[in-house]
Structure 1
Amino acid sequence: MSLVHEFGDEVSIQLPHIKLAGRLWGAADKPLILTLHGWLDNANSFQPLSDYLTDYQILAIDWPGHGGSEHRPGAYPLHWIDYLYDLDALLSVLSRSQAPVAILGHSLGGIIASAYTAAFPDEVQNLILIEALSPLYEDETKAKNRLDNSFRGHRRFLASMAKPVSIYRDMAVAAQARHKLTALELQWCELLTQRNMQTLDSGVCWRSDPRLKLDSPLRLTFSQVDALMQAHKVNTLLISGSRGFAQLREAIPMANRWFERLQNIEVEGDHHLHMGSAEKVSKLIRAFLKT
């Protein structure tokens, strides 16, 4: 595997267009699971699962602009489809030594994995989705407002680039801020915050790409997503949380129409159930991969 170990389980992966950071748990002779985190999270979100999936090697990458990975160059607006290219390049690197037996994606990571697998089913053996299903979509009548809002936000971002970054006294303050904003358990906010911040002489600041918080200039329509997801052939496990996104549970009938080989299981937990309910989720993953 073309990974560079920087310290302990920390790794870096040079893709043709960008360098990714990540974490790697488990022995090299065990089957590999590639894990893809959600929006504004990072590789640390899979640390709880790695404690239970000890019969596998777990590679958790930081998406560009997250954690320790490089930011995308320039200052242009970002789009979700960029991640498909990242994933394709990453799988190409991994295939030189050990192709993963499964891709596991949470939230944004699951959306990217699902879309990629639908388009390129021969590249993925098994797919595990946690609180994710398909690319987001909206009615085409919203396209003009979306483009307008995206560019307005981007102009504000460009104007703010000359301003000094916000500095926190310590990471605990930042973790508390995320906890209050998202209601994610404080211990998990602390784990994620550790990787998404950098230390300065005067305190700590976010190192995540601020463009991640800007609206995308374009979103697919339902007909586009429907056409992409039809006849999804890869063996897939969908795990949703009882207190996760209600829209995901409402979309299960659509999932059953799209996926030819789908196991759908709901467990007690919130949107980050792979952290708070890691033991339960790990048992489901092991059972799924042994079938």
Structure 2
Amino acid sequence: MLTLNSTEFQLPLAHITLAAKRYGQKDKPILLALHGWLDNVDSFIPLAQAFEQQGLLNQYQLICIDWPGHGLSDHRPGHYPLHWIDYIYDLHAIIQSLSQEKQPITVIGHSLGGIVASAYNACMGDNIEKLILIEALAPLFESATNAKTRLHKGLQQQQRFNQQLSRPTPTYASTEVAIQARHQLTGLALPWCEMITARNMQLFEGKYAWRSDPRLKLDSLNRFTFEQVDGLMTISNTPTLFIAAQDGYKQLTLTEEHANTWFSDIKMVTLTGDHHLHMGNANQVAETIGAFVLN
């Protein structure tokens, strides 16, 4: 595997400090990579290596951000339930901070990162040069009739979570057990679980414990309806690339039929691979992205 130099740095925002990793030179246009749920910046290692091999890092820098509660970033304060829409505020603050580098910003979002990027672009598209969505196209939505059940379930989960706060932190004798747990939870291939898990864990009293915010596993208290998503997404003029996986998560791309009503300039591509195709099929994903951003 190609060894690629990167620079770890912190991004102190007004409300939280995030961890980040930079590949390439700081004076180049920015590819801002946003990872998915329970992942971290290391999920972009294979893509960064493919970018390097294909020469894209001679013309761009790749900046990968750990979302709050993921990787080495701070957790949101307190024990209050998390809300996906707060990531849009995070992204706005990230882009405002990186804009000080005076370089155009293209956003690459995978899964949760793509959901957040699509929503942000819908209302703040002038801040983005181009948009690349991998296995996500728009915010998730459901029928308004689910609102009561979702809120009820979410409050019950939060109550159980609060009761667990006084219990000892779960630990593992080795990272191997945690890697297997991640594999069973998400179905992510073991090599990629190993790559991601190390950054999401920490030593705790001589054993390994998850560094990730445990609230990330709680259900959202609310979700948009289709009417809300449709109203938000119509219509963006940002040049957009949508990459779907042949064996990906269909619920994240069910809205593909609406893509041309939400984006005036969109290219849609389906590539071999599963939900994490930017890891398992990094070369082809990198080639597709390279052709798009250099066009």
TM-score normalised by structure 2 residue count: 0.93
- Counterpart CA distance in 2 for 1:127 and 1:172 is 36
Alignment of 1:171 onto 2:169: no
Counterpart in the other structure of 1:124: 128
Q: Distance in 1 between matches of 2:10 and 2:105?
A: 21
SS in 2 for 1:22: strand
CA distance in 2, matches of 1:38, 1:98: 27
Q: Give the match's secondary structure for 1:227.
A: helix
Match of 1:4 in 2: none
Q: Does 1:133 align with 2:137?
A: yes
Q: 1:278 to 1:177 in 2, by over 3 A?
A: same
Q: CA RMSD in A?
A: 1.4
Provide the C-alpha distance between the structure 1 equivalents of 2:72 and 2:271, rounded to a whole number of angstroms.
31
**In structure 1, how many angstroms separate the alpha carbons of the residues matched to 2:189 and 2:225?**
34
Given that 1:241 and 1:270 are in contact with CA atoms closer than 8 Å, whether structure 2 keeps it comes out as: yes
8 Å contact from structure 1 (residues 91, 99) kept in 2: no
Q: What do residues 98-154 of structure 1 show as CA deviations (whole Å, max 9, x unaligned)?
A: 444310000000000000001111111100000001111111111111111111100
Q: Which 5+ residue runs of structure 1 have no aligned equivalent? A: 1-6
Aligned mates of 1:32, 1:143 — CA distance in 2: 39
Take 1:172 and 1:40, find their aligned partners in 2: how far apart are those partners? Answer: 17
Deviation at 1:182, TM superposition (A): 2.3
CA–CA distance in structure 2, aligned partners of residues 267 and 117 of structure 1: 24
Deviations 1:224-280 (A, max 9, x none): 100001112110000010010123454321112211110000000000000111110
Aligned match of 1:72: 76
Please give the residue correspondences for 1:116-265 in structure 2 after superposition, counting only pairs within 5 Å: 116-265=120-269
Residue identity over aligned pairs, in percent, reads 50
User: One-letter code of the match for 1:285?
Assistant: I
Corresponding letter in the other structure for 1:185: A
Aligned counterparts of 1:50 and 1:37: Cα–Cα separation in 2? 13
Asked if 2 retains the 8 angstrom alpha-carbon contact of 1:34 and 1:60, the reply is yes
Conserved 8 A contact 1:167-1:202 = no
1:37 is matched with 35
Deviates more, 1:93-102 or 1:258-267: 93-102
> CA separation in 1, counterparts of 2:205 and 2:77?
26
The SS at the match of 1:127 is strand
Q: Separation in 1 of the partners of 2:207 and 2:67?
A: 25
Q: 1:181-235: CA deviations, max 9, x gaps?
A: 3221111000110010001233100011111111111111110100001112110
Q: Which amino acid aligns with 1:53?
A: F
Give TM-score scaled by structure 1 length: 0.95
In the superposition, relative to structure 1, how do residues 177 and 30 fare at CA in structure 2: closer, same or farther (>3 Å)? Answer: same
1:88 aligns with 2:86: no
Query: Given the alignment, which residue of 5, 9, 14 partners 1:16?
Result: 14
User: Structure 1 stretch 52-61 or stretch 205-214: which is displaced more?
Assistant: 52-61
How many residues matched?
A: 285
